[in-house]
A = this chain, B = another copy of it.
Amino acid sequence: MSVIYQRVALIGLGLIAGSMAHAMREQALAGEVTGFARSPETRAVAREIGLCDRICDSAAEAVAGADLVVLAVPVGAMGDVMAEIAPHLAPGATVTDVGSVKQSVIEAVLPHLPQGVHFIPGHPLAGTEHSGPRAGFASLFRNRWWLLTPLPDTDEAALARLDRLVGAMGAKTDRMDPGHHDLVLAVTSHAPHLIAYTMVGVADHLRRVSGEEVIQYSAAGFRDFTRIAASDPTMWRDVFLHNKEATLDILGRFTEELFVLQRAIRMGDGPQLHEYFTRTRAIRRGIIEAGQDTEAPDFGRSPEARPGE
């Protein structure tokens, strides 16, 4: 691979930015990678593990002379960060973000965008339940989607260049309307996360009654919820507050649907439950066929499992 950007500035040094640093440096996609995080502890760790070529003590210093600036902070902080770095951006530079919500980020960032700087919103659909500067790894984006939601007047050359970087880090790219992105993600990510947080919260109340049994016997389904519900609290608080309408819409549909199934249980309507559970099974097959998950039972937790043999 050849160098795609001369200098990439990472603002925020969590799981996503850290993984970008690893991926770009592994393949020499950037001449230099600079980084900044608001917390001195994060910067210290980033320096200690050599995450970037240079860790700066201000965002202004990090973005100076960069031809790509990546905003990798919680979506609620994007506007303030953009206001802070705007005067220091190089003419012709591209600014992108990696936020899980696109409409509100666009609304927060655009007012501060200087003339001659390109803003191309983006969202890598990749992550783990770990966070912080030590959580990143080079292969995080491999074979994952990285959605770009360009604005109507986006510069095609700038877009193509960002597309190349994303592809070189192993991701598949797609373009989407920002509003549509926020609805699709409310279904595939935001509502599931809130539901997982809720179920884990319920279990926490009961744990105070039933001792440690809820944790001890979590392998029966619950532990998958706890993994989702272990994600970064600040990031997720901001996601829900900034994709409020779509999330509440999906949660409303979810509650209706849950009441239908609860009623079927209460009335003892076996055929309805069976028909429902058969239909949801088909969706799983679609996801495996689309290459979005492994067919290995239990996510391959049991290495000896070989279904169909």
Checking B134, B187, B207, B253 against A222 with a beta-carbon cut-off of 8 angstroms, the contacting residue is: B187
A200 at the interface (CB under 8 A from B): yes
Among the 9-residue stretches A35-43, A53-61, A241-249, the one with 4 or more Cβ atoms under 8 Å from chain B is A241-249
B294/A301 in contact, CB under 8 A? yes
**How far is it, in angstroms, between the C-alpha of A262 and the C-alpha of B281 when the chains are bound?**
28
**Chain A interfacial residues counted at CB < 8 A:** 116
Q: Is the CB of A220 within 8 A of B299?
A: no
B241→A204 contact, CB < 8 A = no
Closest-CB distance, A234 to chain B (whole angstroms): 7
Name the B residues within 8 Å of A205 (CB-CB).
253, 257
Q: Which one of B128, B212, B221 lies within 8 Å of A192 (CB-CB)? A: B221
**Which residues on B sit within 8 Å (CB–CB) of A300?**
299-301
Question: Is the pair A222, B258 in contact by a Cβ cutoff of 8 Å?
Answer: no
* Chain B neighbourhood of A229, CB < 8 A: 277, 280-281, 283-284
Contacts of A284 in B (CB 8 A): 129, 200, 226-227, 229-230
Query: Could you mark each residue 213-238 of chain A with 1 if its beta carbon is under 8 Å from any beta carbon of chain B, else 0?
Result: 11111111111111111110110111
- A292 / chain B contacts, CB cutoff of 8 Å: 215-219, 223
Does A90 interact with chain B (Cβ within 8 Å)? no
Contact across chains for B192 and A225 when beta carbons are under 8 A apart: yes
Complex Cα–Cα for A232 and B124 (A): 33
A189 within 8 A of B: yes
Copy count, this protein chain: 2
Is A198 positioned at the interface, with any CB of B under 8 Å from its CB?
yes
Within 8 A of B (CB), among A165-192: 180, 183-185, 187-189, 191-192
Q: Which of B137, B189, B200 contacts A220 (CB 8 A)?
A: B189
A233 partner, pick from B195, B217, B218, B281, beta carbons under 8 A? B281
Query: Would you call B293 and A204 a contact (CB within 8 A)?
Result: no
CB distance from A129 to the nearest CB of B (A): 6
Q: What 8 pairs across the A-B complex have the smallest Cβ distances? A: A128-B297, A189-B220, A233-B277, A230-B284, A200-B280, A299-B299, A192-B221, A188-B222
Provide a sorted-by-A list of 28 A–B residue pairs whose CB atoms are within 8 angstroms: A127-B220, A128-B307, A129-B284, A129-B297, A134-B308, A135-B297, A137-B304, A139-B305, A142-B302, A145-B219, A147-B217, A184-B213, A188-B203, A188-B214, A189-B220, A192-B222, A195-B258, A199-B254, A215-B290, A218-B292, A219-B293, A229-B284, A230-B285, A233-B281, A234-B274, A247-B265, A248-B266, A300-B300
